Amino acid sequence: MEAAVYNIEGQTTGRSVELSESIFGIENPNDHAIYQDVRLILANRRQGTHKAKERGEISGSNKKPYRQKGTGNARAGHKRSPLRRHGGTIFGPRPRDYSFKLNKKQRVLARLGALTYKAREEGIVVLENFEFENPKTKEFLAILNNFELANTKILMVLSEPSENLMLSGRNLKNAKVMEARDLNTYDILNAEKLLIQEGAVNIINEQLAK
């Protein structure tokens, strides 16, 4: 399939690029692979540093609070008991790693499915390659306004590293900028529109057509 190439003013350049059918137009996207890959990405983003003190980690004496019988109170053998105020937590959370293994072929299949869904929804816009001389959020926002996407969640995919473009889009809550080689299933699906630079299309085609 072919996609028209636009300039940053929102006008067509008269050129087009080829979006590979084997990447942007697969017949049956694997929804389960997409689900697993998104779950993996979100799991890898978790710090896993949560911690609650259990009985053995609470400060306090080991002395029995009061005698076993005759007080009228329930039996108590330890002031750090989880049943008492300021006691330890029963089976509290501990630091852990939430990541899990997912086969590379399954992750590629998930990205193919995500790109196919975006192409079906007409959520892909191809831009000619461009660069900013300096970081300018105002200029970045002007590009989005040219495409009437200022209030739309977008993902701009770059063909090569650009610190100026990265910094320009960083302050916009609905915009995210990344390189084509870092493209992942979650960010594709999380954006309503993909703004892909012309050179990035070739990188995606080469990366996923293997």
Please tell me the predicted confidence (pLDDT) of residue 165.
Answer: 93
Please tell me the predicted confidence (pLDDT) of residue 85.
Answer: 87
User: Tell me, what amino acid is at 4?
Assistant: A
- Compute the average pLDDT of residues 154-159: 94
Classify residue 164 as left (phi > 0), alpha (psi -120 to 50) or beta: alpha
Please tell me the predicted confidence (pLDDT) of residue 210.
Answer: 63
DSSP state of 122: T
Q: Report which of 170, 89, 108, 127 is spatially closest to residue 12, judged by C-alpha positions.
A: 127
Please tell me the predicted confidence (pLDDT) of residue 78.
Answer: 87
- Compute the average pLDDT of residues 62-90: 90
- Compute the average pLDDT of residues 109-115: 95
The pTM of this model reads 0.82
- Compute the average pLDDT of residues 61-85: 89
pLDDT in tens, 192-208: 999 999 999 989 988 88
Name the pLDDT band for 180 (thresholds 50, 70, 90): very high
Predicted confidence (pLDDT) at residue 209 exceeds the cutoff of 80: no
Fold of the 2-46+100-208 domain: Ribosomal Protein L4; Chain: A; (3.40.1370)
Name the pLDDT band for 2 (thresholds 50, 70, 90): confident
What residues does each domain of the chain span?
2-46+100-208, 49-97
- Compute the average pLDDT of residues 55-70: 89
Q: What is d(CA 137, CA 46) in angstroms, rounded to the nearest whole number?
A: 29
Please tell me the predicted confidence (pLDDT) of residue 79.
Answer: 86
Give the CA distances from residue 117 to residues 18, 99, 129, 174, in Å, rounded to whole numbers and listed in that order.
17, 26, 24, 20
Please tell me the predicted confidence (pLDDT) of residue 208.
Answer: 86
